[in-house]
Chains A and B, each alone.
Chain A
Amino acid sequence: QQQVKQSPQSLIVQKGGISIINCAYENTAFDYFPWYQQFPGKGPALLIAIRPDVSEKKEGRFTISFNKSAKQFSLHIMDSQPGDSATYFCAASIGGYQKVTFGIGTKLQVIP
């Protein structure tokens, strides 16, 4: 049973385009929603995170949009660059980091 559903599993975007990754969750007790970025041969690293009391958070070219009523959140990467090519994981947890539930990951490839 997947508590955090992530789509698509793979994504190819042209340089300069917008990359969009979507996630949905079931458990309304989740109160922290991080996104992790993983490059080949490396462990995941925190990219950006949001709490459900805000609908959007932006850090540079990365934006999280959050829809509490729909239980959905998404990552937008504006002006995508080849250096953004990585696997992205959405995640959710209750009360902080313990027992974080991850999505299945999205492999993003940004082509020149």
Chain B
Amino acid sequence: DVKVTQSSRYLVKRTGEKVFLECVQDMDHENMFWYRQDPGLGLRLIYFSYDVKMKEKGDIPEGYSVSREKKERFSLILESASTNQTSMYLCASSVRTNTEAFFGQGTRLTVV
């Protein structure tokens, strides 16, 4: 089974802190994604990566950056956390030629 693992289920951070959310997949997938999920807004794409060291902006990249130094790991970085970044963050991966995405269990981030 494909496994996408997010490092934390719950995080509480203070405003202004630098926050790292980590995601690891074990199926050698080329594509990796970061979404945020908010009630009434669905899933919105923050960033995605289709190869090591490659990244592309999604629909809401402001306030976020990403890093993909190894194929299996995709990190989401909040340079200076703000309260409006309180949300559920979901990582996903997929094979380049396949259309199914596999999601992690999510990280619920609260910024206080």
Contacts and interface: CB of A to CB of B under 8 A. Distances in A.
Contacts of B81: none
Contact of B99 (A41, A93, A102): A93
Interface residues of B, number: 27
Given A98-B48, A98-B50, A99-B48, A45 B98 contact: no
A41 B105 contact: yes
Contacts of A11: none
A74 interface: no
Interface in B43-71: 43-45, 48, 50, 58-59
A32 B99 CA distance: 8
Contacts of B102: 45
Contact of A49 (B40, B96, B97, B99): B99
A99 B97 CA distance: 14
Contacts of B96: 96
Contacts of A101: 45, 59
Interface of A: 6, 9, 32, 34, 41-46, 49, 89, 93, 96-105
12 contacts: A41-B106, A43-B90, A43-B92, A44-B103, A45-B103, A97-B98, A97-B101, A98-B31, A98-B48, A100-B45, A100-B101, A103-B42
Given A97-B98, A101-B45, 12 more contacts: A41-B105, A43-B4, A43-B104, A44-B43, A45-B103, A93-B99, A96-B96, A97-B94, A97-B100, A104-B40, A104-B42, A105-B43
